[in-house]
Amino acid sequence: MSQPAVRRELPDALRGFSLCSMILYHGMWDLVFLGGIQAPWYTALPGFLWQQSICWCFILLSGYCHPLGRRHWRRGLLLLACGALIRAATSAVLPEAPIRFGVLTLLGACTLLLRLLRPAAEKLPPAVGLGCSAALFALTYRIPQGLLLGSALPRTLYRSQLTAFLGFPPAGFVSSDYFPLVPWFFLFCAGAFFFRLREGRPPVQIPRIPVLSWMGRHSLLIYLLHQPALYGLGMLANLF
């Protein structure tokens, strides 16, 4: 395998594993919220931790792979377009809880924003950038809930769709999959700085699991298709 391929092997496998976890999570969501299955644990802390483990892994890996990419502008715009497509589709199918500013919109915006900020980011030592990114992520994690360091932020910051995209959702804002720039851009940056911190070191060798690596390399397509496939399976199950 070429050096870039070796460096992508572990991220691809981890992304593939996360995709499997995400498909199971969303399948469970369909059973609970559309099928009426009773699963109190799913809407409590265990379900929340499951969901967070998936999104943390995806966003960190996307940031980690950002320095390996070449066509950031095209990739970022493609992800934004896919995010807009999902928003339109879920608004039609699930108007009471569409996906607004979901993970694809976030990843597209992060890809473009970090590309713009690359000259400044490259001046930071990787360890400093990683530490600052992690600290900012922890510091701003509850801003979408209106809190900073346990104190309530002024409600005037939470006023529109634009502020919702930034991380300040207005009253009544609803989204089934909400990932604003704050705090998640900082987690994306942490992944990119972690790649720089490991740059020049031998890549981690793992046993090859072809199916996971394949899924990781085709993560966008699988993400777009998995929920329609789950709906289709649910409809078939209802027929029997």
Extract the tokens encoding 80.
């934004």
DSSP per-residue string spanning 177-188? S---HHHHHHHH
CA-to-CA distance for 39 and 27, rounded, in angstroms? 13
Helix or strand (DSSP H, E) at 148? strand 147-148
- What are the pLDDT digits (tens) for 158-193? 999 999 999 999 999 999 899 999 999 999 999 999
User: How far is the C-alpha of 106 from the C-alpha of 2, rounded, in Å?
Assistant: 30
Residue 239's pLDDT band (boundaries 50, 70, 90)? Answer: low
Class of residue 77 by CB neighbours under 10 A (exposed 0-12, middle 13-18, buried 19+): middle
Mean pLDDT of the chain: 90
Which residue from 238, 86, 116 is spatially nearest to 185, judged by alpha carbons?
Answer: 116
Give the number of domains in the chain: 1
Q: pLDDT digits over 60-84, tens only? A: 999 999 998 889 999 999 999 999 9
Token look-up 């900020």 returns 117
The dihedral formed by the CA atoms of 213, 65, 70 and 189, expressed in degrees to the nearest 10: 160
Residues 101/175, Cβ–Cβ less than 8 Å:
yes
Domain extent, residue 67, equals 3-239
3-state secondary structure at position 151: strand
